[in-house]
Amino acid sequence: MAPRDRHDVLDHTLHRLAGRGFTGAVLWVLRDNWNARHFYEAQGWSATGEEMVDDRSGYAIPETRYAITPTA
């Protein structure tokens, strides 16, 4: 998916959440995936400072939590 398309899908989803009364949204990003982190930050998401390590078949996968307040 092209970057512009990703932005449009995310923007549409956040508008729908706001329209349905949601006051916040969160997502988890792989901690070292700087491209994804920059993408979400450019869209207004903020790292919350919360991190977790997911264990997948014996592999530690560190993740960082992001949050945003959707607007209609």
pLDDT tens string, the chain, 72 residues long: the values are 565 666 788 888 888 998 999 999 999 999 999 999 999 999 999 999 999 999 999 999 999 999 999 876
Question: Any residues with CB less than 8 A from the CB of 27 and at least 6 apart, and which?
Answer: 40, 45, 65, 66
Return the H-helix or E-strand segment holding 16.
helix 3-19
d(CA 2, CA 10): 12
What is the C-alpha to C-alpha distance for residues 63 and 30, in angstroms, rounded to an integer?
Answer: 4
pTM higher than 0.85: no
Distance CA 44, CA 42 (A): 5
